A and B are shown apart, each in its own frame.
Chain A
Amino acid sequence: MEYTFHILVLVGIYTTLAVSLDLLVGHTGLLSVAQAAFFGVGAYASALLEVHFGVPFLIAVASSMALAVLVAIVVASPSLRLQDDFFIIATLGFQMILFTVFNNWTNLTRGPLGIPGIPRPVIFGWTVQSHVEFVFLAFVIAASAYLVVGILSTGPFGRVLHAIREDEIFTESVGKHALKFKLTAFAVSAALAACAGSLYAHYMTYIDPTSFTVMESILVVSMIIIGGAGSRWGPLVGAVVLVTLPEALRFVGFPSSVAANLRQIIYGALLVIIIMFRPRGLMGKYGFGR
């Protein structure tokens, strides 16, 4: 049972990540490969604040989200000037730079040694301790992320994002400041990813840079594309499929080291197959890149 709950917590965390990135990929048409970096910014910021300064959980999460917004503005202002391929490459560059920071700024992050002993979250006197409580917290956060992205993507703001996705120049020609909207979407997306990162750090109680690599960013992108970019349930389905896949492989009898690699091979192949034969994704209505 503990094991099932563990999987559910991971599903919650990755759903939050996927839905936050979908605001960019699915709704705005911006393929960012830096989501794991923001995930890492959130995890490191809240972990360090609590371990070193004893900052309460909620304040730590809020400050990590604020920091992620700051980093997002620094990342997005040059990147958003670029189109399609170059935007992807720019976010990829920032992903690599931030990973190098996590890995090499040893005075702050202890580098590859990681940060152990991150305390359990305490919310208004409620200590989140057991797996069931974490499942609850993870689902609440995932649901809130869904709510935020849902509200942003269906209202007037979302209509402008969709317009930018379809035709940016036209959107500008009717008087919408595209850069402002894209920047806002980027910042919100980064803040949600940082929130997921904080939860991840407090759940694992230990973080190291290997959780925040390019491959992790690509994994989140794959979740969206496989689930269906810009659709309501796409990110959830993608996260569920890709999180449970290695467990299913282990269940079938592959050792866990092989299962991790097999998952990688399978989701890569799935990505290619989905793009070739069902570009809308499993749940989607909008074919990304078409």
Chain B
Amino acid sequence: MAAQFLLNGLSVGCIYALAALGVGLTYRTYGFFNFAYGVLSALAAYVSYAMLFYFRAPVWLAISAGVAGAILLGGFSHYIVYKPLRSRGANSLTLLLSSVGLFVVLVGCLVLAFGEESLAMPGERVGAGHLVLGVRVAGSQIVIVCSSLVVFLGWWLAVTHTKCGRLLRAIASDEYLARLHGVRTESILLCGILASSFVLALCGVLQALDTGLSPTMGFEVFLAAVVVIVIGGGSVIGNVAAAMFLGIIQQVAVWIMPAQWQAAIVFVILILFLLLRPQGLRGKLQSRTTV
């Protein structure tokens, strides 16, 4: 029983961690929580769904199309909204509000195109799974955990060992200083937003495999990602650990209370953290060691 909770928690935690990496990178570099990410992941899932369902595309093509769509939109939003706003010296609240606007527009578009009802990813058999040592392992869970682990590792390597990652960290620690040293901050920021869009898109596709699609599916994961960033403090390892913690707590909570309260648990944890450990949360996050 406990092992089952652990497994379910891990696979949910992987999804939260992916989202937290993307949302956290934008938070560190741009300085705001990008609400539009909450629907970017849903968009990727819906594009993959449409490719699979309407065009009978092979799975790899469908997923790449979804991810590519989300990345394009992410880059587009940078050029159309965030870049002009930043060049006019907008602060983080303005950026946040504009991302809320984008979020509202995109959710509206998704509902208009696909309807408000939840959809199931074609080809995924509900309830199917393998029994391993008394634990029911769904095929989707294996896919989620394995691909997430690959992405975590790649992300960590990219942040610590590539030039772009180093420059992103430089911008996160002091954008003005980075620009003084000749870093072309706008193009590096664009790289960052593309990378964030990529993990968010992947997160959406994986979530769709797990629980199906709905236009607001990305939003709760986005909020969970914010909670993860608050708990984890922003480093890659901290975020992944906090996401696993949150995923497992959520599963254990279902054991104690009815399942419909599961969504609220994340926010209760957030509030508890705000009440009990506010010193780590005042203003901006404290440790700015890694993105």
Q: Which residues of A line the B interface, CB within 8 A?
A: 31, 78-79, 81-86, 88-90, 92-94, 96-97, 100-101, 103-104, 214-215, 218, 221-222, 225, 258, 261-262, 264-265, 267-272, 275-276, 279, 288-290
Contact = CB atoms under 8 A, between A and B. Distances in A.
A90 B230 CA distance: 11
Contacts of B264: 96-97, 100-101, 104
A222 B92 CA distance: 17
B93 A89 contact: no
A81 B264 CA distance: 21
B278 interface: yes
Contacts of B4: none
Contacts of A269: 101, 105
Given A85-B92, A265-B112, A275-B97, A96 B274 contact: no
A82 B281 CA distance: 7
Nearest to B84: A276
A272 B274 contact: no
B96 A81 contact: no
Contact of B260 (A88, A90, A104, A222): A104
20 contacts: A82-B278, A89-B223, A90-B271, A92-B223, A94-B271, A96-B263, A97-B267, A97-B268, A100-B261, A104-B258, A104-B261, A221-B100, A264-B104, A268-B101, A268-B102, A270-B101, A271-B100, A288-B94, A288-B97, A290-B94
Contacts of B268: 97
Nearest to B262: A100
B92 A93 contact: no
Given A84-B93, A85-B32, A86-B281, A78 B98 contact: no
A289 B94 contact: yes
Interface in B229-262: 230, 258, 260-261
Interface residues of B, number: 48
Given A82-B282, A100-B261, A275 B92 contact: no
B248 to A, nearest CB: 20
B103 interface: yes
Interface string B211-231: 000000001100100110010
B270 interface: yes
A78 B5 CA distance: 31
Interface of B: 27, 32-33, 81, 84-85, 90-94, 96-98, 100-109, 111-112, 219-220, 223, 226-227, 230, 258, 260-261, 263-264, 266-268, 270-271, 274-275, 278, 281-283
Contacts of B102: 268, 272
Nearest to A264: B108
A85 B97 contact: no
B104 A261 contact: no
A81 B33 contact: no
A97 B101 CA distance: 23
Contacts of A88: 33, 96
A268 B274 contact: no
Contact of B97 (A79, A92, A258, A271): A271
Contacts of B274: 78-79, 81-82, 86, 90
A90 B227 CA distance: 10
A78 B94 CA distance: 24
A96 B264 CA distance: 7
B267 A94 contact: yes
Given A82-B282, A85-B32, A90 B94 contact: no
A265 B223 contact: no
Contacts of B270: 89-90, 93
A222 B108 contact: no
Counting chain B CB atoms within 10 Å of each CB, which of A81, A218, A272 scores highest?
Answer: A272
A289 B282 contact: no
Nearest to B105: A268
Nearest to B269: A93
Given A275-B94, A289-B94, 18 more contacts: A84-B92, A85-B96, A86-B230, A89-B223, A90-B270, A100-B264, A101-B264, A218-B100, A221-B97, A222-B104, A264-B107, A268-B104, A268-B108, A271-B101, A272-B102, A276-B85, A289-B90, A290-B91
